[in-house]
């Protein structure tokens, strides 16, 4: 009993030390609202979370000539916001926060990648390109089609294109997705270029691949499976009949030959 209690106390102490060392997940130091994917002409607010004691906060935009926005803390302020209006293609790219602590500039390693959509006035079309494969498979292929020669295609899921982490980037226009019952998701796609992947086309019309896309195909697969089972049962019956015929006793003609 004493040994068990001692071991339990040791485990709790180790957990407390691990939690003290690692703690909860760190909060982001820079983020955007409504998100990091913004349409042309819209507004976005970028937030910087500063360490305590800073006297100056600067939001820097990595562009050719350099661009920044400054803010002076008002009291014990921790989060600073920078409102950017009327987004253009020049607003896209990488942002980061710098902090002035007395006479020393501190740079945070976290960056924000801001995408601007609608720069290319071309609207792709998003369609279901292929049927599900396999009896229990619910995967379908979506095709982001456009006559323009984009070399990057982006598929955004969940109906929320404001979050870049909800988007998949590829150098081809086919996307394999899963369709599961009770989990409906809306998808849109964009086109872009590798030379500046922060500039996107107009979004396609939203597409919601539901069970209706796969129900007919699963019925066909079920019919094929039933026919295959019937065929196997018939083949098994023929094999069983042939095996029984080989085990039957020899007929009278063979008995006569043996006696002679």
186 vs 8 pLDDT, higher one: 186
Cα(160)–Cα(165) distance, integer angstroms: 10
By DSSP bridging, strand 104-120 and strand 37-39 are parallel
Predicted confidence band of residue 38 (pLDDT cuts 50, 70, 90): very high
Provide mean pLDDT across the span 63-72.
78
pLDDT, one tens digit per residue, over 167-196 is 899 999 999 888 776 667 889 999 999 999
Q: Are 129 and 142 in contact (CB under 8 A)?
A: yes
Given a contact cutoff of 8 angstroms between Cβ atoms, the answer to whether 38 and 116 are in contact is yes
Same CATH fold, 121-213 and 26-118?
yes
Q: How confident is the model at residue 77 (pLDDT cuts 50, 70, 90)?
A: confident
**Which overall architecture, per CATH, does domain 26-118 show?**
Sandwich (2.60)
Residues 120, 196: contact at Cβ < 8 Å? no
For the whole model, what pTM was predicted? 0.68
CATH architecture, domain 121-213:
Sandwich (2.60)
Domain spans in the chain, listed from the N-terminal domain onward: 26-118, 121-213
């Amino acid at each position: 009993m004493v040994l068990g209690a001692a071991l339990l106390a040791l485990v709790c102490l180790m957990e407390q030390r691990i939690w003290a060392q690692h703690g909860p997940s760190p909060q982001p130091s820079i983020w955007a609202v409504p998100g990091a994917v913004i349409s042309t002409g819209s507004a976005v607010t970028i937030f910087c979370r500063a360490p305590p004691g800073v006297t100056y906060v600067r939001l820097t935009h990595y562009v050719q000539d350099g661009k920044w926005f400054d803010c002076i803390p008002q009291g014990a302020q921790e989060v600073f916001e920078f409102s950017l209006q009327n987004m253009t293609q020049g607003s896209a790219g990488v942002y980061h926060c710098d902090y002035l602590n007395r006479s020393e500039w501190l740079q945070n390693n976290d960056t924000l990648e801001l995408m601007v959509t609608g720069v290319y006035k071309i609207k792709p079309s998003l369609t279901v390109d292929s049927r599900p494969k396999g009896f229990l498979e619910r995967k379908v292929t979506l095709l982001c089609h456009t006559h323009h020669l984009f070399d990057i295609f982006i598929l955004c899921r969940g109906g929320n294109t404001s979050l870049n982490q909800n988007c998949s980037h590829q150098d081809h226009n086919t996307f394999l997705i899963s369709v599961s019952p009770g989990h409906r998701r809306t998808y849109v796609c964009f086109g872009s270029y590798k030379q500046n992947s922060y500039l996107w086309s107009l979004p396609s019309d939203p597409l919601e691949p539901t069970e209706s896309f796969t129900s007919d195909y699963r019925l066909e697969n079920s019919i094929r499976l039933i026919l295959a089972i019937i065929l196997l049962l018939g083949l098994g019956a023929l094999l069983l009949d042939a095996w029984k015929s080989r085990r039957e006793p020899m007929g009278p003609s063979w008995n006569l030959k043996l006696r002679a």
